[in-house]
Amino acid sequence: MLHLIVSTITFEKQQITHAWWQQWRSHILRLYLLIVVILLAFSIAGHIRLLNEIGKTFGGFTWMVDPDRKDGALILITTPPQLPLFAISANSLTSTTHIVAVDGHTGGAGIQYVYQHTRPDATVTYSARMDSSKHIYNYVRPTTQFTWDIWWQTFGLTFFAGASWLIVGAIVLATSTEWTGGVEGITLIPPGMLLLLYSHWGNIQTAYAPDLVVQLLWIPSFALLGAAFIHLSLNYRPSAMSSTRTPNWLVDGLPYAPLGALLLFEWLSLLFLGHVPLRINIILSLSYAAIGGLISLSIGITSLWQIAGFWSPTRRVRHRVPQHIRHYVSDLLTLWIGGVGLGFCFGVLPILLVGQTLLPLSLFYVLAAAYPLILLYAIRSLRLIGRLHTTIDQREEALNEQKKTAQALQYTNKELQQATDLLLHADANLRSILSQRIHDQPKQQALRIRSQLGYWQHKLRMEAERDASGKVAAQPIIDSLGKVRKISEELEGDLRGLQLLVEDAYQRKSLGLRLHLEKLINEDLPMLHLESSLKVQADLWALDALSPGSESTLEGERIAEAISYTVTQALLNIYNHAGATIATVHTSCNDDMITVQISDDGRGFTTNTIEPEKISLFKARLKVQAARGRLDIVSTPYRKASDGIEGQNNPNTLYHQHGTTITLQIPLSTQQTDLPNTTPHPAIAASTQHEQRTSEQPK
């Protein structure tokens, strides 16, 4: 049990969610413990008074001097369960019987004198009179000795029962994660108070007058118990449990408001009369306890009715109570209503009517001590179940948020893909227009300049050879024209290289993809890199799978664009960076899947150490993805020799399995429904049409 309590407190400390309660819970717990210490001190003081009576003679019942009677009449309180019942009944709301004399002696001093001078098993005559009758009846009863067993079953069990309520209340309060759980612990004070202070109620042999503990604490604890019932039932309403709440006057203060009037009556009576009228005080306190029980029962039944869905406070719209709140409230209300009902029927109501409980006091006290332990187990289990439901709800909310985020990401990804397609389409159009302009205007002009310069250079040379007098100084002009022609050739070469960099889309559309790549591999790139010793072996027969008019469709244009751009950029990288001697371009077509593989025996590189966007084939990968294809790059760098020198001139370098292989796979037929919206943006489309109209104007 101790391990359960410690583990529960340790676990609950990690689950505090409300900032206000997290700040004030320790202060309220300290106040609660202070109240517990005060009640235990008062209870122990009463038990010390009773333990001093052990071994003394008494009449087999507990009694008290009625402070309301001036003649010092006695009131019978209760008879220990192990002793025979007394013919005189205990006081109740229906009847009041006073013992006016004991063996002829009156008052508390008289009964104390008789008991002090009487041995156990001696007979004593009690003269009693009911308030409704003027006749005095005599009753004979043998005396007995007050023993430990009588103390234990009559008073000792009440101490442990009250301590059980207060300990459970402290645990519930210490482990609560919000104010609602704190109310569950605070409302356990009245039952514990009622049981602990019972040690002050009644005398054995010595005549003690009703002390202030009885008048100001124990009797009002009945009214406090009724207020706690109302408070707890208001706390367990579904509307109060649906959200984390803070203390407020209507729920947490109003049930205790009538206690102010009761306390005012007690203190004024104590001030003016010197004591509180016993019967009136008991009737007022028990009446409010009964009223509180009935109000609490009504509120609890209403809450259960609302949980079942038969009634809603709004009347128009029936709000469905969450499942974990329904389980929590229904189980605890059932447990509280059952416990309060049993306690009221077997304890409070019989005391009000006949002055004693239906069950034996010892059994009643044992049940009262066991009930808070059952309540603690139920509260702890229901809290764990509630926390599990809360966790499940939070997980569901998180999953819903993740679904919304995933949908938003999918939508964003779709928009990004559409934007990428639009950019690639615009890039292809702009490069095509740029390639056409380079081919039609600067390149043709450079070719015409070179032709004219060659013609005049040759003509001037012929004229100089014919003039025997040598008056025509044509050699400087010829040299100047040669330099201009050389500059024109260099300009033409630079324009050709620039055209290759932007990919000759104009040439590809004019010649077709296969012829364009063959011209690129066999003529354009070797002319651009005359100093390179690279030999490129091309096998492009599989490109015939693309029909001549395939680029007239968007799908065919994407495929041709991806293949042409990838091959061009790959070969440019091989020429400029790889330092390779042999490169191959191999194509194949199987099951409507065209595969292009570009490989070389160059120095290679480590693909894992280079970010994808920094590789020159990054745009090629985007183009391949736009064509529903796949681009893989596998590269194996040179291995360093033992001397740390890397390269082909080092004899210690291992040359096998080095170089780069680029594999391109594109399906020839794709579902049109799988393609994203590739309709060009109106601004891009307008710009493209304007550029095409400009390029088609006659020169």
pLDDT in the model for residue 323: 59
Q: Which amino acid is at 526?
A: P
User: pLDDT class for 346, splitting at 50, 70, 90?
Assistant: low
Residue 181, pLDDT score: 83
What's at 155, amino acid-wise?
F
Spatial contact of 118 and 149, defined as CB atoms under 8 Å apart: no
Instruction: Determine the Cα–Cα distance for residues 127 and 102; give it in Å rounded to an integer.
Output: 6
Q: Which residue has the higher pLDDT, 563 or 475?
A: 563
- The amino acid at 306: Q
The pLDDT confidence band at residue 686, using thresholds 50, 70 and 90, is: very low
Q: Dump pLDDT digits (tens) for 184-197.
A: 899 999 999 999 99
Better-scored residue on pLDDT, 328 or 10: 328
**Burial status of residue 351 (CB atoms within 10 A of its CB: 0-12, 13-18, 19 or more):** buried
- List C-alpha distances in Å: 471 to 286, 406, 526: 147, 88, 45
End-to-end CA distance of the chain: 102
Contact in structure between 61 and 79 (CB atoms under 8 Å): yes
Listed residue (336, 345, 38) closest to 193, CA to CA: 38
- pLDDT tens digits for 640-676? 554 445 444 454 444 446 789 999 999 986 533 333 3
CA distance 182 to 608: 59
At 169 the pLDDT is 92
Which tokens belong to 22? 């997290």
| C-beta atoms surrounding 58 within 10 Å | 24
Distance between CA atoms of 665 and 591, rounded to whole angstroms?
12
More confident residue, 336 or 102: 102
pLDDT at 40 over 90: yes
Nearest to 153 by CA among 75, 79, 57, 214: 79
593, amino acid identity:
M
pLDDT of residue 147: 93
**What's the CA angle centered on 210, arms 122 and 283, to 5 degrees?**
105
Question: Residue range 600-605: average pLDDT?
Answer: 86
User: If DSSP codes are grouped into helix, strand and coil, which group holds residue 80?
Assistant: coil
d(CA 544, CA 235): 82
Across 207-212, average pLDDT: 87
Give Cβ neighbours of residue 403 (< 8 Å, ≥ 6 apart).
none
How far, in Å, CA of 202 to CA of 208, rounded? Answer: 8
SS3 (DSSP) at 103? coil
Predicted confidence (pLDDT) per residue in 101-149, tens digit: 998 888 888 899 999 999 888 999 999 888 767 788 888 999 999 999 9
> Tell me, what's the pLDDT at 8?
46
- The model's confidence at residue 530, banded by pLDDT at 50, 70 and 90, is confident
Beta strands 659-667 and 593-600, pairing class: antiparallel
CA distance 352 to 650: 112
Arithmetic mean of pLDDT over the chain? 77
Q: What is the pLDDT of residue 564?
A: 86
Mean pLDDT confidence for 294-306: 79
DSSP state of 602: S
Q: How far is CA 592 from the centre of its chain?
A: 50
- 245-272 tens-digit pLDDT: 778 888 888 999 999 999 999 999 989 8
- pLDDT attached to residue 546: 78
Distance CA 387, CA 30 (A): 26
Give the C-alpha separation, 183 to 179, whole Å: 6
User: Which of 485, 573, 559 is CA-nearest to residue 525?
Assistant: 573
Q: Does the reported pTM lie above 0.75?
A: no
CA separation, residue 34 to residues 37, 259, 424 (Å): 5, 21, 78
Q: What is the pLDDT of residue 555?
A: 83
Find all residues with CB under 8 Å of 477, minimum gap 6, and list them.
460
Report how far residue 148's alpha carbon sits from residue 159's, in angstroms, rounded to the nearest whole number: 14
The DSSP secondary-structure symbol of 105 reads B
Q: Measure the CA–CA gap between 409 and 667, rounded to whole angstroms.
A: 27
The pLDDT value recorded for residue 663 is 93
Q: Is residue 240 within 8 Å of residue 180, measured between CB atoms? A: yes
Mean local confidence (pLDDT), 481-489: 69
**Residue 231 burial class via C-beta count within 10 angstroms: exposed 0-12, middle 13-18, buried 19 and up:** buried
pLDDT at 442: 64
What digits encode the pLDDT tens for the residues 156-171? 999 999 999 999 999 9
In the chain, count H helices and then E strands: 24, 12
DSSP string, 475-507: HHHHHHHHHHHHHHHHHHHHHHHHHHHT--HHH
Q: What is the pLDDT of residue 575?
A: 87
Beta strand pairing status for 57-58 and 659-667?
Answer: unpaired
How many Å apart are CA 121 and CA 466, to the nearest integer?
172
Instruction: Identify the helix (H) or strand (E) that includes residue 139.
Output: strand 137-142
Highest mean pLDDT of the ranges 83-97, 195-209, 290-304: 195-209
What is the tens place of the pLDDT at every residue in 567-591? 988 888 888 888 888 999 999 988 8
pLDDT above 90 as % of the chain: 20
CA distance linking residue 288 with residue 330, whole number of Å: 25
Contact 373, 166 (CB under 8 A): no
Helix, strand and coil in the chain, % to nearest 5: 60, 10, 25
Which of 232, 111, 130 has its CA nearest to residue 181?
Answer: 232
Give residue 615's pLDDT: 63
Residues constituting the chain: 699
- Among 96-100, 146-150, 331-335, 397-401, whose mean pLDDT is lowest? 331-335
Mean predicted confidence (pLDDT) in 339-351: 65
Phi, psi of 56 (to 5 degrees): -95, 160
- The CA radius of gyration of the chain, in Å to the nearest whole number, is 53
Q: Are 32 and 185 in contact (CB under 8 A)?
A: yes
Query: Do residues 228 and 187 lie in contact, with contact meaning Cβ atoms separated by under 8 Å?
Result: yes
Measure the CA–CA gap between 337 and 335, rounded to whole angstroms.
Answer: 6
**pLDDT per residue over 408-463, tens digit each?**
898 888 888 777 777 767 666 666 666 665 665 566 666 767 677 777 777 777 77
pLDDT at 596 over 90: yes
CA distance 12 to 665: 59
Question: Residue 543 above 90 pLDDT?
Answer: no
Mean pLDDT value across residues 475-479: 66
* Residue 356 CB contacts under 8 Å (≥ 6 apart), including other chains: 78, 79, 89, 90, 350
| b/e per residue 287-312 (b: at least 16 CB within 10 A) | ebbbbbbebbbebbeebbebbeeeee
Return the structure tokens found at 285. Answer: 């306190």
236 close to 332: Cβ distance less than 8 angstroms: yes
